[in-house]
Chains A and B, each alone.
Chain A
Amino acid sequence: MKKILIIEDDEFLQGLEATKIKNSGYEVITALNGEDGMKRISDSKIDLVLLDLLLPNYDGFQILKKIREGELNKDIPVIVFSNLSEKSDINKANELGATKFMIKSNFSLEELVEYINKILIK
């Protein structure tokens, strides 16, 4: 079973995301802040990261940078899933190597799972 790490500081949103992804046949592990998120990427074998941007400790941009610089798991797919929608934020995440940038409020959880499926089937 493929394993997905959700790094999301809003417990309620994290719970909804985790439930939907688990029910779609994935194993899910979670982190509520940047530091814990990075620890989990180094500790476990993860197939995809669902990454929020505004996080306590380290923010999503810092985590993405660390992943792509090879300190963690360099080639892992990372879906940035945030409600930030300014062009500067989207560009920054794309430049840092986000696999996909999705604005949370524009997508349903079914659509999120569709994208996860697409990425992991490749």
Chain B
Amino acid sequence: MKDTEGLIVENENLKKIIKDRSDFFSITAHKLRTSLTALKWTLRMFLNKDLGNISDEQKKYLEKLIENNEKSLLLINDMLISNRENNNSSVKLNVTNINIIELVEKIIFIFYGELKNKNINLILNKDENSKLQVKCDEEMIIGVFENLIENAIKYSPNGGEIKISIKKDEKSNGVLISIQDNGIGIKEEDTSKIFSKFFRAPNAIEKENTGSGLGLFTTKSYVDKNNGSIWFESVKGEGTTFFVLLPTD
């Protein structure tokens, strides 16, 4: 009996330690983001000559700094996703009816800056029923589409095209969302490992050397937890399409 009580106390202590660590992590990430945002805006002001003329050589260095700063911001996003995943691993799902078209549109807006910077044309094909709903944990589903859209942008060429389609899947009675890019694609030998923890395909590292290898692992884990399915079709050098099937009841 005493042992059980001891375990309960110990369990509570551990929960508190995990929560404190997670809170510390979130606060640190927020502070880091603020510093990097200040750096991003200042560098852009220099680049836009808001603070006076710059030489061609200075311009080159500034562009490199901006690129590296963006990579650091992406890494922080990955760290936050990973932290969220650790917190969610033992948390009960909060399942609600979600208007999936509205949710995807909101996420696309978050990436407005990145899309514009890379001059990427994003086409959204929506189901005629604009109130199409899925029954899932909203926070997790946001994580899924943030990650898939971010990847599509990251691995697309400048001036590329991303097509997102949301439609009712009559066969399963679910909703099928596809995200198609014309980016670097996935090599055949890497296709079986793409959802593994910490895996990053060599051609992905070549294109984008930062990244934790947690993005697609987390994405799949969120989809699975919500009784959905995720798969992809890809041709190396031509692009990739991710499909996510989500339940409606």
Contacts and interface: CB of A to CB of B under 8 A. Distances in A.
Interface residues of A, number: 23
- Chain A contact residues: helix, strand, loop or mixed: helix
Contacts of A85: 77, 80
A90 to B, nearest CB: 8
Nearest to A100: B109
A88 to B, nearest CB: 8
B40 A108 contact: yes
B114 A16 contact: no
Interface in B100-117: 110-114, 116
B34 to A, nearest CB: 5
Given A16-B45, A109-B44, A10 B110 contact: no
B113 A107 contact: yes
B222 to A, nearest CB: 12
A108 B50 CA distance: 14
Contact of B41 (A13, A54, A84): A13
Given A20-B50, A106-B114, A110-B44, 6 more contacts: A54-B30, A83-B34, A86-B26, A106-B111, A106-B113, A108-B113
Interface of B: 26, 30, 33-34, 36-38, 40-42, 44-45, 48, 50, 73, 76-77, 80, 84, 110-114, 116, 138-139, 142
Nearest 6 interchain pairs by C-beta: A83-B33, A105-B37, A87-B139, A104-B37, A16-B41, A105-B33
Interface of A: 10, 12-13, 16, 19-20, 23, 54, 83-88, 103-111
